[in-house]
């Protein structure tokens, strides 16, 4: 991917970026299975986009539509993403040579890696440390253990939220500029895309469940069809189901139809003894 990131004219004040940080606290308040937290993201960056594009209603509308796409990452870094995105939107406003596709390309490429890093930091580090300290204290009869857990987990989270927007806005494009000039941008984006696909692939394998109950053979020597398939190609049924759903989504089959359709198919196959 080719990026045109350059030094930009700053149109937003620290107060406006601070407001973005506050709005990031509502980042998980509206979610659906098609685009996850795209609406809260637009709520977070909306006032900044309005300030950037001013009376140009068409450009403002296009900017909002740009961010009404699938969005999901660690909630604690929502504000960082917001700051970075409004910085790129500023460049789109002030630089006629800026490639608008860069905005969502950068956003999509960074979501996966940032989730991998900060999910581990907050869910596997701060939360577990806070819980272990809090539970130990509560087992000894110290009710303050609940407060300790909340502080250990939430103080780093709030620091990220309330400084993230400023860091993303002030340093985001400068960092991207340096990476672009050094030739590392394309390498990072390609690597991030590959990592994201690997994460999604691993998630699909671990979360998709296809277990066939059908068995055949003689009494005392029954063989399950599931074990035979897994012996030839482990995870083949999972892969088939994933590609089936991908194909159905490409044909624009509604996710609600897919959910209830899957439920009906599974119930029928279970009653028939196949699953």
* Per-residue pLDDT tens over the stretch 5-57: 445 568 899 999 999 999 999 988 888 878 888 999 999 999 999 999 998 99
**What does pLDDT average to over the chain?**
84
CB 73 within 8 A of CB 121: no
Q: Which of 179, 170, 164, 128 is nearest to 149 (CA)?
A: 128
Give the C-alpha separation, 128 to 114, whole Å.
Answer: 20
Global pTM value: 0.62
Give the C-alpha separation, 24 to 142, whole Å.
Answer: 33
- Three-state SS for 145-201 is HHHHHHHHHHHHHHHHHHHHHHHHHHHHHHHHHHHHHHCHHHHHHHHHHHHHHHHHH
Q: What are phi and psi of 36, to 5 degrees?
A: 50, -115
Cβ neighbors of 130 (< 8 A, separation 6 or more) are 148, 149, 150, 151, 152, 153
Rounded to an integer, the average pLDDT of 181-200 is 68
At residue 221, the 3 state secondary structure works out as strand
Give the C-alpha separation, 95 to 217, whole Å.
Answer: 71
**Cα dihedral value 174, 176, 180, 182, nearest 10:** 70
pLDDT band at residue 188 using 50, 70 and 90 as cut-offs: low
Rg (CA), the chain: 24
| Residue 130, pLDDT score | 85
Over residues 50-76, the pLDDT tens digits come to 999 998 999 999 999 999 998 888 899
| Residue 1, pLDDT score | 44
| Residue 64, pLDDT score | 94
Rounded to an integer, the average pLDDT of 243-260 is 90
In terms of pLDDT, which residue wins out, 229 or 214? Answer: 229
CB 160 within 8 A of CB 72: no
Cβ neighbors of 269 (< 8 A, separation 6 or more) are 275
């Amino acid at each position: 991917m080719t990026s045109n990131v350059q030094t930009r004219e700053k149109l937003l004040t620290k107060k406006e970026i601070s407001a973005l940080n506050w709005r990031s606290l509502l980042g998980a308040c509206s979610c659906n299975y098609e685009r996850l937290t795209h609406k809260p993201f637009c709520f977070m960056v909306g006032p900044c986009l309005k300030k950037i594009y001013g009376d140009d209603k068409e450009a403002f509308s296009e900017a909002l539509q740009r961010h009404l796409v699938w969005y999901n990452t660690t909630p604690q870094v929502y504000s960082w993403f917001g700051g970075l995105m409004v910085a790129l939107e500023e460049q789109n406003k002030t630089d006629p040579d800026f490639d608008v596709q860069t905005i969502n390309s950068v956003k999509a490429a960074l979501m996966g890696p940032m989730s991998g890093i900060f999910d581990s930091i907050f869910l596997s580090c701060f939360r577990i440390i806070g819980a272990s300290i809090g539970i130990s204290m509560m087992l000894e009869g110290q009710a303050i253990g609940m407060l300790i857990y909340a502080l250990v987990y939430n103080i780093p989270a709030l620091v990220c939220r309330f400084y993230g927007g400023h860091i993303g806005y002030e340093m985001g494009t400068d960092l991207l500029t340096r990476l672009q000039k050094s030739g590392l941008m394309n390498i990072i984006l390609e690597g991030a895309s590959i990592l994201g696909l690997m994460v999604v692939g691993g998630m699909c394998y671990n979360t998709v469940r296809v277990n066939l109950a059908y068995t055949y053979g003689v009494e005392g020597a029954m063989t399950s069809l599931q074990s035979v398939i897994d012996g030839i190609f482990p995870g083949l049924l999972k892969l088939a189901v994933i590609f089936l759903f991908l194909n159905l989504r490409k044909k624009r089959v509604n996710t609600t139809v897919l959910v209830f359709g899957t439920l009906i198919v599974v119930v029928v196959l279970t009653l028939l003894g196949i699953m």
